Amino acid sequence: MSGPRPVTYISRSRPTIEGAGVRLKRVFGFHEVPNVDPFLLLDHFGSDDPDDYMAGFPWHPHRGIETVTYVLEGAVEHGDSIGNEGVIGSGDVQWMTAGGGIIHQEMPQRYEGTMRGFQLWVNLPRAEKMMEPRYRDVLAATIPTVKLDDGITVKVIAGEVEGTRGPVEDLVVPVEYIDVTVPPGVLFERTIPLGHKVVAYVFEGGGQFGPEELRVGTEHLVVLGDGGAVEVTASGEGIRFLLASGPPLDEPVAWRGPIVMNTQKELDTAFAQLRAGTFIRKGDDMPIADKYYRR
Ligand code: FE
């Protein structure tokens, strides 16, 4: 089982509309959960037309998950019910643990050029779904870039590469989240602990994945099976991809919109609390978009 990890699934990201009308690409979501546990969702933002993203994600709740926003280029203004507010800019990461409940908004700002970024959802285990919410702003300057042989570079958001640790520590689920750039024709190998799930998302160029050397183009998800090393050989244009891995939770998933729990009863409780205005345990009353009141 410790040979190179085989490719088990490839899919293209799908255009969708989220929030108040943001056009984005869904890399994976509800239907892929058994394959990608402990991850739940990955969205890819990318547009040079502000009309595609300016509507943003006005005040909305989350519970039971962490959301990780990685802005490649652009600026996203945010605020939340535990008192954080500010702007995350190019290269910055926001790691938000909703725990028992947070209400926040995420509003992309008008940007000259192509606004690009990602939002990854990491599930929380049953024992931690109702933990205190917390929020971490990770500035681009604190995210190390590790230079490997043959011109490979790795930005380490969470985890450790060649002794360099990413700035996001003390994670509930010890996931690794890295941004890998490989020059044309070069082989990238990285051993991920046996039993951990691994997903890769190609967002520039393309390459060949796994011992099968399956060709994967840009804007494609690759799920790798269990084993040892992830193997990727960049094609003639090079490749850049996100690589996320972590131990699966193997727990039931009850998911409705921005709330992910273990049982339907827990979802019913959450939405009843939203209607009653008792969803968050502290902080100011926040306006919530009407759609979260409807069943
Ligand atoms: Fe959100």
Q: What three-state secondary structure class fits 31?
A: helix
205: Cα within 13 Å, side-chain hemisphere: 20
- Residue 268 included in any domain: no
Tens-binned pLDDT, residue by residue, of the chain (295 aa): 579 999 999 999 999 999 999 999 999 999 999 999 999 999 999 999 999 999 999 999 999 999 999 999 999 999 998 889 999 999 999 999 999 999 999 999 999 999 999 999 999 999 999 999 999 999 999 999 999 999 999 999 999 999 999 999 889 999 999 999 999 999 999 999 999 999 999 999 999 999 999 999 999 999 999 999 999 999 999 999 999 999 999 999 999 999 999 999 999 999 999 988 889 875 545 555 444 443 3
Output the CA 114–ligand 1 centroid distance in Å: 21
Instruction: Report the C-alpha gap between 68 and 71 in whole angstroms.
Output: 10
Q: Can you give the pLDDT at residue 1?
A: 56
Contact 37, 120 (CB under 8 A): no
- Is position 82 within any domain? yes
State in Å: Cα 63 to ligand 1 middle.
10
Q: How far is the CA of 175 from the centre of ligand 1 (A)?
A: 20
**Predicted pLDDT at 62:** 97
Looking at the structure of the chain, the number of domains it has is: 1
Q: Are 53 and 22 in contact (CB under 8 A)?
A: yes
Evaluate whether residue 60 is within a structural domain: yes
The verdict on residue 214 lying in a domain is yes
Q: What range defines the domain where residue 146 resides?
A: 7-246
Å from CA of 25 to ligand 1 middle: 16
**Residue in this structure with the two tokens 């490989």, named with its chain if needed:** 182
Assess if residue 258 is contained within a domain: no
CA 11 from centroid of its chain's CA atoms: 17
Distance in angstroms between the alpha carbons of the first and the last residue of the chain: 45
- The domain that contains 11 carries what CATH number? 2.60.120.10
> DSSP string spanning 229-264?
EEEEEEEEEEEEEEEEEE-------EEETTEEESSH
| Beta-bridge mates of residue 73 | 116
Residue 1 covered by a domain: no
Distance set, CA 241 to CA 166, 207, 208, 251, 258 (Å): 17, 10, 12, 28, 26
The residue whose two tokens read 């690759």 is 222
Q: Under a CB-based contact definition with an 8 Å cutoff, are residues 40 and 121 in contact?
A: yes
